[in-house]
Structure 1
Amino acid sequence: MLAQPPAWLIIVAFVCAMGPLVFIHELGHYAVGRLFGVGAETFSIGFGREITGWTDRTGTRWKVGWLPLGGYVRFVGDESHAGESDAPHETDPRSFAGKPVWQRFLIVLAGPVANFLLAWVIFVAFFTLVGAPLTNVVGAVEKGSAAAAAGIQPGDQIVAIAGRPTPTFSDVFSTVVVRPDETVSVKIKRGDALAVFPVHLRKEMMDDPAGTKFERGILGVRPTTGVSEPVGIVEAVPLAASFTIGMTRSIVDGIVQLVRGRISPKQLGGPIKIARVAGEGAAQGPLAFVSLLALLSINLGFINLLPVPILDGGHLFFYAVEAVRRRPVSVQAQEWAFRGGLALLVALLFFTTVNDLGSFGVWERLGRLIG
C-alpha cells in the first residue's frame, strides 16, 4: 500500500483535479448552449457561497463557490425539470426551455462529451510526448500461473479476453482484475494463427490505494515493455481514441461485475477516496497526476450519462421521451423522478462516505474506543 500523502497535498490535489474537470464539463454545456443562442445567467465552479467572481459583457456571472464538489451553468429559462419553462422566459429568444428538444438534448449531452474529449486530448499529448501504452504482446509468463496452465507463451498476442478486445495490457489488466476465480476465454494470436484458450483465473487479496482489501483476478502474464517510444500525432490520435473507449468499456465491465456480485460494494468510493487517490497521484509526480485526470474525466463523463434523474443522463432520457411523444413528460412525473434521483444520489454519497471512512480505519478505531 502506498504511503499516505499529507493532508494538505490531498486537499490541494483534490481541488486541482475536480476544478478543471468540472470546468471542462460545464464549459461543454455552456459552449453548445451559446452556439444555439441560449443566454447563460451563471457559470459556477463549486457550490455554496461565492468566493470570487465577475460578470462578463453578456451578463453571465462567472463565480467560484466554497464547496468544490461540482458546478453548474444556469441558462436563461433553465428550470430543474426537463421541458418545463417559466412564464417570464417563454418569449425570450435566449431561453433554454424555448429551444427545440434536439438542441436541449445536445446542450446537455455536451457536458459528458467534453469530459471524454479532455481524456482523449490528455492521452494524445501523453502518447506523443512520453510514449504509447503497452502492447498486448506477452513478454513473460509466471510459473504456476493460470496463463502457464492454459499454455499461453511469451510472444503470444492477447487479442481478447471474455469476448472483450484487449489492444493494450491496460485492457488485459482491467478485464482480468474484475473476474477473480472465473473461467474465461482468452483469444491468442500466435504467429499467423488464432486460438482460444479456456483459462481459469487465479485470485488474490489486494489493497486498493485507500487501504481497502479486495479480491482481484490474476492471469499471470507480463508485457514486453513498459511504455513504447513516443509516437507521431497521426498515430496518437486514433490510439488515444481507442484507449479512451477501452477505459470506458472497463468502467461498464466493472459495473456489470458489481451487479453480478463479483465485486464487493465496499470497493465503491466517494469524494474522500477520490481526494486521497488524487493526493497519491500528485505525490507521484505531474505525469501520474495528469494521467489520473484523464481517468477521472472519463469516470465523470460516464457517470453523468447514467439515466438517473438529476444527472445529465436523466435529462437526456426525458428529452428522448419528449421527442417520441411530441410533448414533455408531465411536471408531476418529473418532480417525483427528480426527487427519487436526488434521494438515490444522497444515499450513494452516504454509503460511499461510510466506505471511505472505513478505509481510513475510522470505524475500527471508534469500535476500540467504545469497547
Structure 2
Amino acid sequence: MLNLVWSVGGFLVAIGILVAFHEFGHYWVARRCGVKVLRFSLGFGKPLWTRTSKDGVEWVVSALPLGGYVKMLDEREGEVPANERHLAFNTQSLGKRALIVAAGPIFNFALAILFYWAVFILGVEGIKPLLAEPPAASIAAKVGLHQGDQVLRIGDVEIATWNKLRTELLSRALEGKPVPVVIKTSGGETRELVIDLAAVRVDPEFLFNDLGFEVFQPEIPALIESVVKGDPADDAGLKTGDLFLSFNGTPVTSWQQWSKWVRAHPGEVAKVQVKRGNETLERNLIIGHGDQGLGKIGARVAVPPELWQDLRAEDRLNPIAAVPAAIRYTGQMSMLTLKMLWRMVLGDVSIKNVSGPIQIAEVAGITAQVGFVPFLAFMAIVSVSLGVLNLLPVPLLDGGHLLYYAVEAVKGSPVSERMMEMGQRLGVTFLVALMGLAFYNDIARLLN
C-alpha cells in the first residue's frame, strides 16, 4: 500500500511539474509575441479547480493528469472581435507561430538541463565500473578484458559509475562503430583498447550480454536473510540465518554460484545442506518457476554492507563544470531517445521498451523513495522524452504543427483544412496506438 502511495504521489508531482513547464513555454512565448491567452490547463477533462486572473486568463487544473494545453485566441476556433484580431494566434507571422509551438519542447529540454545541472552538483552515487569475468566467446573476452578491470574512459568521456558506462555504451552502440576504451587492470596497469560495436544488438536487453559486460560482484556468503512465505524455500523448511553449504553434493562457494545454478534449473529437486546455528541439516528443495522461466526459491541473501563499500563511486562536478556537462548529457539523451525510436521502427529494438503511465509511476515511486537526486534524474529523462516526443512530425503534436508550418514556408500559403483534417485523423490513430502499446507493455510487466 505504501509503495502505491509513493508511486501515485511521485507520478503526480513529476508529471505536474513537467507538463506545467511545457505548457508554460507555450504560454510565456505566446504572451511575448502579443497573442492573447484564454486558458492554461493542467490535465484534461472535468475541471477540479479554476481561477481567472486579472488579465483574463483562466487557470485550470483538470481531472485527467496526462497532459495539458494552452488555449489562445484563434479565428479558427471561434468568433474574434475586430479590435482583437491582431491578438489572435492565426493572424501572427509564420515565425511567431512556429516559435510559440516550439516553445513547449524547448522548455522541456531547458528544464532537463536544469535538473541534470543540479544532479551533477549534488552528486550521482553508483557502483564503480568494474567488470566481472566475461564469458569466453564474448567481445569483452576477445579484446582481453578480465575480472576486476575498471573502465576509465570511453572515447573522450570519463566513466565514473556503472550507470554512466551503460548510457555511453548504448549511445555508441547505436552508431555501430569501433570505440576506444581506456581501462585500469586489477593490477593497476592502464590499457587502451578498441571495441567494435558493429556486431552487437542495440536492444538494451541484449547489448551487455553480447558485449560480455557484467558488473563485478564480491563473493557473497550464501546466508539467508529472509524467506518468502509459501515459496519453495519456505516449503522446504529453510529459515532466516541458514547458511547453504552444498547442493547435490556440490559445495556452495558463494550466493552468486548458488543462485546461478537455481536460475538454470527450474522444476528440479536439489538436496541441500545448510548450517543452522551449530547444526548441519539436509533438506529437499524443489526449485520453483520465476520470471522468464528462470528458477527461484523465494529466499533473500544477507549482504554484508562492508563488501560493497570499496565499490561505491560518486560522479560530482562543480557548478561551473556542471553547465556544459548538463547541456551535453541532455543532448546525448535526446539523440539516444530518437535513435531508439528509429531502431524500434526498423525492428532492431523491441517495442517492449515503450513504457506507459503505470511503469512511469512505478519508477517515480521507486526513485522518490531512494532520494532527491535519483528523483531529479528521473524527472530529467522524462522531460527529455516529452520534448522529443512532442517534436515528432505527427499531427496533434507540436512537431506536427511545425511540419505544417514548414510546408507553408515552402508553398507560401497555409496547409488546406482538408489536409489538416486528414492529418488529425492520422495523429489520433498514431497516439491511440502508441498509448495502447504503452498500456499493454505496462500490464504485461505487472503480470510477469
Q: Give the TM-score range, shorter chain.
A: 0.7 to 0.9
**How far apart in 1 are the matches of 2:167 and 2:124?**
20
| Counterpart pick for 1:242 among 322, 328, 334 | 328
1:103 paired to 2:96: yes
1:122 paired to 2:122: no
Q: Go from structure 1 to structure 2 and tell me whether the alpha carbon gap of 1:324 and 1:352 turns closer, same or farther (over 3 Å shift).
A: same
Is the CA contact (8 Å cut-off) linking 2:126 and 2:312 kept in structure 1? no
**How far apart in 2 are the matches of 1:313 and 1:183?**
28
Structure 1: gaps of 5 or more residues: 80-84, 207-213, 365-371
> 1:227 is matched with which residue?
314
| Counterpart pick for 1:346 among 418, 428, 432 | 432
Q: For residue 8 of structure 1, give the secondary structure of its aligned residue in structure 2.
A: helix
Q: Go from structure 1 to structure 2 and tell me whether the alpha carbon gap of 1:155 and 1:8 turns closer, same or farther (over 3 Å shift).
A: closer
Per-residue deviation at 1:317? 0.6
Q: Go from structure 1 to structure 2 and tell me whether the alpha carbon gap of 1:5 and 1:318 turns closer, same or farther (over 3 Å shift).
A: farther
| Counterpart pick for 2:423 among 329, 332, 337 | 337
Q: Go from structure 1 to structure 2 and tell me whether the alpha carbon gap of 1:295 and 1:95 turns closer, same or farther (over 3 Å shift).
A: same
Per-residue deviation at 1:9? 2.1
1:76 paired to 2:90: no
| Counterpart pick for 1:217 among 189, 200, 208 | 208
Q: For residue 41 of structure 2, give the secondary structure of its aligned residue in structure 1.
A: strand
Q: Which amino acid letter does the alignment assign opposite residue 267 of structure 1?
A: N
Q: Go from structure 1 to structure 2 and tell me whether the alpha carbon gap of 1:187 and 1:240 turns closer, same or farther (over 3 Å shift).
A: same
1:6 paired to 2:3: yes
**How far apart in 2 are the matches of 1:236 and 1:132?**
16
Is the CA contact (8 Å cut-off) linking 2:48 and 2:62 kept in structure 1? yes
> 2:266 is matched with which residue?
none
Is the CA contact (8 Å cut-off) linking 2:39 and 2:57 kept in structure 1? yes
Q: Go from structure 1 to structure 2 and tell me whether the alpha carbon gap of 1:328 and 1:288 turns closer, same or farther (over 3 Å shift).
A: same
Q: Go from structure 1 to structure 2 and tell me whether the alpha carbon gap of 1:308 and 1:89 turns closer, same or farther (over 3 Å shift).
A: farther
Q: Go from structure 1 to structure 2 and tell me whether the alpha carbon gap of 1:134 and 1:257 turns closer, same or farther (over 3 Å shift).
A: farther
Per-residue deviation at 1:301? 0.6
> 2:194 is matched with which residue?
196
Q: Which amino acid letter does the alignment assign opposite residue 24 of structure 2?
A: L
Q: Go from structure 1 to structure 2 and tell me whether the alpha carbon gap of 1:294 and 1:118 turns closer, same or farther (over 3 Å shift).
A: same
Is the CA contact (8 Å cut-off) linking 1:44 and 1:72 kept in structure 2? yes
Per-residue deviation at 1:331? 0.8
**How far apart in 2 are the matches of 1:118 and 1:129?**
17
What are the residue-to-residue correspondences of 1:276-355 with 2, within 5 Å? 276-355=362-441
Per-residue deviation at 1:30? 0.6
Per-residue deviation at 1:185? 2.0
**How far apart in 2 are the matches of 1:222 and 1:266?**
24
Scaled by the length of structure 2, the TM-score of the pair is 0.67
Q: Which amino acid letter does the alignment assign opposite residue 110 of structure 2?
A: L
Q: Go from structure 1 to structure 2 and tell me whether the alpha carbon gap of 1:20 and 1:249 turns closer, same or farther (over 3 Å shift).
A: same
| Counterpart pick for 2:133 among 129, 133, 142 | 142
Q: For residue 34 of structure 2, give the secondary structure of its aligned residue in structure 1.
A: coil
Among all aligned residue pairs of Structure 1 and Structure 2, give the percentage whose two residues are the same amino acid.
33
Q: Go from structure 1 to structure 2 and tell me whether the alpha carbon gap of 1:166 and 1:255 turns closer, same or farther (over 3 Å shift).
A: farther
Q: Deviations over 1:45-93 (max 9, x none)?
A: 01111111211111000110011010000011175xxxxx755267522
Q: For residue 89 of structure 2, give the secondary structure of its aligned residue in structure 1.
A: coil
Is the CA contact (8 Å cut-off) linking 2:330 and 2:384 kept in structure 1? yes
Per-residue deviation at 1:171? 5.5
> 1:112 is matched with which residue?
105
| Counterpart pick for 2:339 among 253, 278, 284 | 253
Q: Which moved more, 1:168-177 or 1:111-120?
A: 168-177
Q: For residue 208 of structure 2, give the secondary structure of its aligned residue in structure 1.
A: strand
Per-residue deviation at 1:320? 1.3
Per-residue deviation at 1:273? 1.6
**How far apart in 2 are the matches of 1:252 and 1:62?**
33
Select the structure of larger CA radius of gyration.
Answer: 2
What are the residue-to-residue correspondences of 1:155-170 with 2, within 5 Å? 157-160=152-155, 168=159, 170=163
**How far apart in 1 are the matches of 2:176 and 2:53?**
59
> 2:85 is matched with which residue?
92
**How far apart in 2 are the matches of 1:320 and 1:252?**
20
Q: Deviations over 1:76-123 (max 9, x none)?
A: 1175xxxxx755267522111111010010111110011111111011
> 2:61 is matched with which residue?
64
Tell me how many residue pairs correspond in the alignment.
339
Scaled by the length of structure 1, the TM-score of the pair is 0.80
**How far apart in 2 are the matches of 1:267 and 1:130?**
28
Q: Deviations over 1:27-50 (max 9, x none)?
A: 011111111111110000011111
Q: Which moved more, 1:34-43 or 1:271-280?
A: 271-280
Per-residue deviation at 1:16? 0.9
Q: Which amino acid letter does the alignment assign opposite residue 196 of structure 1?
A: V
Is the CA contact (8 Å cut-off) linking 2:11 and 2:361 kept in structure 1? yes
**How far apart in 1 are the matches of 2:373 and 2:130?**
25
